[in-house]
């Protein structure tokens, strides 16, 4: 006899969580948490509720990390980072209420549409880099950047507006308390455990930087490395390093030559400059990568695939016979007639000089005269019968 499986109803669906959120449906589920769609009745706002798995809710360290993630993201007030509204617990289960995102993860988009066009890939990279720059300025690393953490939502005329989420391995830059040797570097025992322990390599090995999987100190350039791997995957349709085990992938990140986008995908429309940029982001030595996300923004703007607004003025170069760059005050930002929803910097041309129109001369006021009416004052306004101007 064949037994049919009846889906087990989720007890939270249809429940009012913490007396504030009406849970409508389960959206996604994983080993760490489950995400629900909900309504917040007082405001009529649609929110996403992320509930920590029950077994993890009994782990003080897991609860602490979950709360830390919520608090860190809530202070990162940036349009490309998901907004956190609330943090609480009910029946011993921690939850976070956050902005509901009606879109697709970059992971799903890559799976369906890769390879993406170079201009689209660069545009997505720009959004992610802006989010990382905002986080890094607050002293926060993502440490778990992967396509599943990048949501693409339609905003206005932009279909690929990025929302960065799941700072699941977030660490404050000055609060990373890992066991280290007296010299500040991880000892041999620590390095061995980093490659052998699943708990040590908690970031997805496909996108983790060499220093991360090797148990060494990470910094903002580690997030940029992960972005370089994601860029390669967008442009080629597969990750640059893969294998049958996490350790095999980790060793490739630390030792293998950096692949080229154009060599990996013959006929790729990616420019040589973009290809070099992706390889630079994936450099084994962090010193060979861009210094930080702010610097990467400048470098991305210089790529031929970038068509968005310029965040800075180009540096003037002395060329014989060339017109000097206008000063900042003489530059105005206007909508571009070519690229929708973008602005470009153009010199502000002053309007032609016109003859200045002098206002009519007003008589000097004399002593107060109570018989003086509005009709006797110069100007275009005339009183009505009730004494009000027309």
Q: Indicate which CATH number applies to the domain containing 83.
A: 3.30.200.20
**What stretch of H or E contains 272?**
helix 272-281
In a domain, 23, yes or no: yes
Instruction: Kindly write down the DSSP assignment for every residue of 218-269, as one continuous string.
Output: --HHHHHHHHHHHHHHHHHSS-S---SSHHHHHHHHHHSPPPPHHHHSTT--
φ, ψ for residue 81, nearest 5 deg: -125, 135
Overall domain count for the chain: 2
- Residue 224: the pLDDT is 98
Burial of residue 102 (CB within 10 Å: 0-12, 13-18, 19+) is: exposed
CA gap 364, 220 in Å, rounded: 69
The single residue of 86, 102, 108, 144 carrying the catalytic annotation is 144
- Are 60 and 112 in the same domain? no
Residue that wins the pLDDT comparison between 379 and 220 = 220
Same domain, 116 and 245: yes
* Residue 18 DSSP class: T
Instruction: Identify the pLDDT of residue 368.
Output: 43
Within a 10 A sphere around the Cβ of 119, how many other Cβ atoms?
A: 17
- In sequence order, the 6+-apart residues with CB closer than 8 A to the CB of 170 are 68, 69, 72, 73, 140, 141, 142, 143
Task: Tell me, yes or no, whether 200 and 143 share the same domain.
Answer: yes
Taking only the tens place, the pLDDT of each residue in 176-220 is: 434 333 334 444 333 333 343 334 444 568 999 999 988 899 999
Query: Is 144 annotated as catalytic?
Result: yes
**Cβ-based neighbours of 308, under 8 Å, separated by 6 or more:** 123, 126, 301, 339, 342
Query: SS3 of 213, please?
Result: helix
Same domain? For 136 and 54 the reply is no
Final residue of a structural domain among 46, 69, 99: 99
CB 165 within 8 A of CB 131: no
- Reported as a single tens digit per residue, the pLDDT across 231-258 is 999 999 999 999 999 889 999 999 999 9
Q: Report the predicted TM-score, pTM, of the whole model to 2 decimal places.
A: 0.71
In this structure, the answer to whether residues 156 and 276 fall within a common structural domain is: yes
Range of the domain at 144: 104-174+188-301
Q: Verify that 255 and 117 share a domain, yes or no.
A: yes
Mean pLDDT for 144-170 is 89
């Amino acid at each position: 006899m064949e037994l049919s499986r009846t889906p087990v109803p989720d007890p939270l669906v249809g429940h009012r969580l913490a007396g504030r959120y009406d849970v409508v449906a389960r959206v996604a589920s994983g080993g760490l948490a489950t995400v629900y769609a909900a309504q917040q009745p007082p405001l009529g706002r649609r929110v996403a509720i992320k509930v920590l798995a029950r077994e993890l809710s009994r782990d003080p360290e897991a609860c602490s990390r979950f709360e830390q993630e919520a608090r860190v993201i809530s202070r990162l007030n940036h349009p490309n980072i998901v907004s956190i509204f609330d943090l609480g617990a009910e029946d011993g289960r921690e939850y976070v209420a956050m902005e509901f995102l009606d879109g697709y993860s970059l992971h799903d988009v890559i799976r369906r549409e890769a390879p993406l066009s170079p201009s689209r890939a660069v545009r997505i990279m720009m959004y992610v880099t802006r989010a990382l720059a905002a986080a890094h300025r607050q002293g926060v690393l993502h440490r778990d950047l992967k396509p599943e953490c990048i949501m693409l939502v339609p905003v206005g005329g932009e279909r690929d507006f990025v929302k960065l989420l799941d700072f699941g391995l977030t660490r404050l830059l000055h609060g990373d308390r890992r066991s280290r040797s007296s010299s500040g570097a991880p000892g041999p025992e620590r390095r061995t455990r980093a490659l052998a322990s699943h708990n040590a390599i908690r970031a997805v090995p496909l996108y983790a930087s060499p220093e991360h999987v090797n148990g060494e100190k990470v910094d903002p350039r580690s997030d940029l490395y992960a972005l370089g791997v994601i860029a390669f995957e967008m442009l080629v349709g597969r990750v640059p390093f893969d294998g049958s085990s996490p350790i095999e992938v980790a060793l490739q990140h630390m030792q293998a030559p950096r692949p080229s986008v154009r060599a990996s995908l013959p006929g790729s429309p990616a420019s040589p400059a973009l290809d070099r940029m992706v390889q630079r982001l994936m450099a084994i030595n962090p010193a060979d990568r861009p210094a930080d996300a702010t610097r990467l923004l400048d470098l991305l703007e210089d790529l031929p695939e970038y068509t968005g607004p310029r965040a800075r003025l180009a540096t003037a170069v002395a060329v014989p016979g060339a017109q000097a760059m206008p000063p900042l005050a003489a530059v105005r930002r206007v909508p571009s007639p070519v690229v929708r929803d973008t602005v470009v910097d153009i010199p502000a041309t002053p309007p032609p000089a016109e003859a200045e129109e002098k206002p009519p001369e007003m008589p000097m006021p004399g002593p107060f005269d109570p018989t003086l009416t509005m009709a006797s004052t110069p100007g275009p306004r005339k009183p009505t019968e009730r004494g009000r101007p027309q």
